[in-house]
Chains A and B, each alone.
Chain A
Amino acid sequence: MSVTSEQVRHIAKLARIGMSEAEIEALVPELNNILGWVEQLSEVNTEGVEPLTAVIDQKLRLRDDIVTEGEIRNEVLANAPEAQHGFFAVPKVIE
């Protein structure tokens, strides 16, 4: 499988990364090179093999649904590029 510049443009859109046409054109051969190389996995017979889900066998733990560390709104907001009235502020989304 190989990607076209149209597909790279689409992937960039999905990944929300702004890219110039020149960057997209440069990425096409780079991605194809890498995708061509990972293609060798198709040589491996994986029939009947379950995909690995946990690298070390262990049970997922459950915990009580309680607040353990709260009341730190201002500390959390301190890193926001823009915070207003105790909230994260973003550009207007509804006209």
Chain B
Amino acid sequence: MRRKRNTGSLRSPRSLSEAVSDLNSKTIAELRDGFRAGHFSAREIAENFNAAVAGARTLNAYTLETPDDALAAADTADQARASGDLLPLSGIPIGIKDLFATRGVETTAGSKILAGFRPPYESTVTAKLRQAGAGMLGKLNMDEFAMGSSNETSAHGPVISPWRRKGSNVGLTPGGSSGGSAAAVAAQIAPGATGTDTGGSIRQPAAFAGIAGIKPTYGRCSRWGVVAFASSLDQAGPMAKTVRDCAILLEAMAGFDPKDSTSLDAPVPLWEANLSSDLRGKRVGIPREYRIEGVPDDVNRLWERGIEWLKDAGAVPVEISLPHTRYALPAYYIIAPAEASSNLARYDGVRYGLRERGPGGLDGMYSATREAGFGAEVKRRIMIGTYVLSAGFYDAYFTKAQKVRALIKQDFRKAFELCDVILTPTTPSAAFGIGETTDPLAMYLNDVFAVPASLAGLPAMSVPGACDKEGLPLGLHLIANELDEQMVLNAGLAIEERAGFTARPEKWW
């Protein structure tokens, strides 16, 4: 299928030589359209990104590089262009978070316990991306089993953000858990990447890295072949430079899958074709409960500017109330660990990954394998989950949390009677330094604005808004009703067009 040329591009047309030399800074839409127009070949795109990936190992964004995969897909794309059989993502190489099973390619979920695991199958999401013509640059680093907000829990070591504070060379985190994905897009060593979001793992790193990222409605993207963390929350989504690029990737990733029992049996909308930043007639909800103490002025100031930008696009702001917001994080930290303790019971040293022989037969092997294979944060969450699900505590913790979750869902249902989209900050701060946050609870607070939408299964997106006084990116967060990704993308586009966020990290790696 041929698509019409991207008319939303803000960049002016370039000459041929300029076009080739600057491939890494292009958006996916620009790469796609330039490739189709014959300004450069898919092979040139892949070679440029492969070289950039190899030149950025200091960032530790990739756990595994797969340049041959990217080149093979590129050659197929070049042939397809010659024969006129182009696919939606022909010519586009992307990075894949290491949570997605990739056939024959090591998939570790950032954990030592899955070292050497080569799945005999391909996740539905990555299979769909391949069917759409995309190539794979490599597997992207992440917090172990997606449990973390800083990438510091990865068994492969932390990802270093390409961003630095003004006049400082302190290593910063790109956020997490999709930190490798965020860093790769920000450092221009992938034009786009897959991420997953259980309680903010796409949106928080997108905000920290100055890029866009969307978590679609729960069930839009198949969970089949995505290493499970908390199954009632886990959702895959794209991370890329622009809102349009997110729409392009999400169209390829989403869709009904009979292999996932919670997959939504609904057609995939033409999100890209329907992008519009004209928000006349739309109401933007501003939840008063998201004004919390201790949030830096820069964050609140950007929020105010975000309201102005959406007004400028034609929307009308309305104050709304989401009264159970403050209970979202504690409910999340019961539900997610409970589901994780159950999901991670499969790592027993029998079928795949690490095995350690302990004393005392089979039980000893289980305990020794899990002791050696899991990192501290994963153990902590399995322990919490096991406790809250144990006899005598189940109702007090787990059932209670699911009741609170029902109330949070109801809050949103009522709010969407008054508004079409909700605007909040993405994170309560900009990126922090590696090793700076050692208290688990302080780390969990990173996702205070992101978690409510996760608990309610709603589509939500982060778009870059501005840099703070230290020169670090801050994101704005949009939440819409079930299945209304278009509203999130359109409001995101309206912000993107007005924010004029062009800051990029200066290359030091």
**Which residues of A are at the interface with B, using a C-beta cutoff of 8 A?**
1, 3, 7-8, 11-12, 14-19, 27, 30-31, 33-35, 37-44, 46, 49-56, 58, 60-61, 63, 72, 75-76, 78-82, 88, 90-93
22 A-B Cβ contacts within 8 A? A8-B383, A11-B383, A15-B370, A17-B382, A30-B440, A34-B441, A38-B334, A41-B400, A41-B401, A43-B327, A44-B324, A51-B402, A52-B403, A55-B218, A55-B232, A56-B264, A60-B261, A75-B120, A79-B116, A80-B351, A91-B364, A93-B362
Complex CA gap A75/B119 in Å reads 9
Complex CA gap A46/B399 in Å reads 10
Other contacts beyond A37-B441, A61-B265: 5, CB < 8 A: A15-B386, A30-B380, A34-B380, A49-B406, A79-B351
B333 contacts the other chain (CB 8 A):
yes
Asked whether, in the complex, the Cβ of B400 is within 8 Å of the Cβ of A42, the reply is yes
Complex CA gap A60/B258 in Å reads 11
Complex CA gap A90/B362 in Å reads 7
Complex CA gap A58/B399 in Å reads 21
Asked whether, in the complex, the Cβ of A79 is within 8 Å of the Cβ of B353, the reply is yes
Complex CA gap A72/B455 in Å reads 37
With a 10 A CB-CB cut-off, give which of B119, B261, B358, B404 has the most chain A CB atoms.
B404
Asked whether, in the complex, the Cβ of B370 is within 8 Å of the Cβ of A17, the reply is yes
Asked whether, in the complex, the Cβ of A16 is within 8 Å of the Cβ of B348, the reply is yes
Query: Known contacts A16-B348, A44-B407; is A34 also within 8 Å of B384 by CB?
Result: yes
Q: Which residue of chain A is the closest to B456 with respect to CB atoms?
A: A55
Q: Closest approach, in angstroms, between the C-beta of A5 and any C-beta of chain B? A: 13
B482 contacts the other chain (CB 8 A):
yes
Complex CA gap A92/B119 in Å reads 27
Asked whether, in the complex, the Cβ of B327 is within 8 Å of the Cβ of A11, the reply is no
Complex CA gap A35/B348 in Å reads 27
With a 10 A CB-CB cut-off, give which of A43, A49, A93 has the most chain B CB atoms.
A49
Asked whether, in the complex, the Cβ of B402 is within 8 Å of the Cβ of A53, the reply is yes
Asked whether, in the complex, the Cβ of A82 is within 8 Å of the Cβ of B355, the reply is yes
Asked whether, in the complex, the Cβ of B331 is within 8 Å of the Cβ of A41, the reply is yes
Q: Closest approach, in angstroms, between the C-beta of A72 and any C-beta of chain B? A: 6
B217 contacts the other chain (CB 8 A):
yes
Interface size on B, residues (CB 8 A): 72
Asked whether, in the complex, the Cβ of B371 is within 8 Å of the Cβ of A11, the reply is no
Asked whether, in the complex, the Cβ of B407 is within 8 Å of the Cβ of A81, the reply is no
Q: Closest approach, in angstroms, between the C-beta of A57 and any C-beta of chain B? A: 9
Complex CA gap A33/B383 in Å reads 13
Complex CA gap A61/B355 in Å reads 36
Asked whether, in the complex, the Cβ of B402 is within 8 Å of the Cβ of A52, the reply is yes
Complex CA gap A30/B376 in Å reads 11
Complex CA gap A92/B362 in Å reads 7
Complex CA gap A51/B405 in Å reads 7
Q: Closest approach, in angstroms, between the C-beta of A46 and any C-beta of chain B? A: 4
Counting residue pairs across A and B whose Cβ atoms lie within 8 Å, the total is: 163
**Using an 8 Å CB-CB cutoff, how does the interface string of B342-384 with A read, 1 for contact, 0 for none?**
0001001111111101100111111110110010000110111
B477 contacts the other chain (CB 8 A):
no
- Contact partner, A41, options B232, B262, B327, B393, Cβ 8 Å: B327
Complex CA gap A16/B455 in Å reads 28
Task: Give the chain B neighbours of A1 by CB distance below 8 A.
Answer: 393, 396
Asked whether, in the complex, the Cβ of B218 is within 8 Å of the Cβ of A44, the reply is no
With a 10 A CB-CB cut-off, give which of B358, B399, B405 has the most chain A CB atoms.
B405
Asked whether, in the complex, the Cβ of B120 is within 8 Å of the Cβ of A76, the reply is yes
Query: Known contacts A27-B380, A51-B402, A91-B362; is A58 also within 8 Å of B264 by CB?
Result: yes
Asked whether, in the complex, the Cβ of A49 is within 8 Å of the Cβ of B401, the reply is no
B219 contacts the other chain (CB 8 A):
yes
Task: Give the chain B neighbours of A79 by CB distance below 8 A.
Answer: 116-120, 351-353
Q: Closest approach, in angstroms, between the C-beta of A12 and any C-beta of chain B? A: 7
B387 contacts the other chain (CB 8 A):
yes
Complex CA gap A44/B402 in Å reads 12
Asked whether, in the complex, the Cβ of A16 is within 8 Å of the Cβ of B370, the reply is yes
Complex CA gap A50/B386 in Å reads 23
With a 10 A CB-CB cut-off, give which of B380, B384, B409, B440 has the most chain A CB atoms.
B384
Q: Closest approach, in angstroms, between the C-beta of B51 and any C-beta of chain A? A: 32
Asked whether, in the complex, the Cβ of A11 is within 8 Å of the Cβ of B390, the reply is yes
Query: Known contacts A15-B383, A56-B482, A58-B262; is A34 also within 8 Å of B362 by CB?
Result: no
Task: Give the chain B neighbours of A78 by CB distance below 8 A.
Answer: 118, 120
Asked whether, in the complex, the Cβ of A90 is within 8 Å of the Cβ of B258, the reply is no
With a 10 A CB-CB cut-off, give which of A16, A27, A93 has the most chain B CB atoms.
A16
Asked whether, in the complex, the Cβ of B118 is within 8 Å of the Cβ of A11, the reply is no
Q: Closest approach, in angstroms, between the C-beta of A48 and any C-beta of chain B? A: 9
Query: Known contacts A34-B441, A49-B403; is A3 also within 8 Å of B330 by CB?
Result: no
Q: Which residue of chain A is the closest to B347 with respect to CB atoms?
A: A16
B341 contacts the other chain (CB 8 A):
yes
Task: Give the chain B neighbours of A91 by CB distance below 8 A.
Answer: 357, 361-362, 364-365
Complex CA gap A61/B256 in Å reads 12
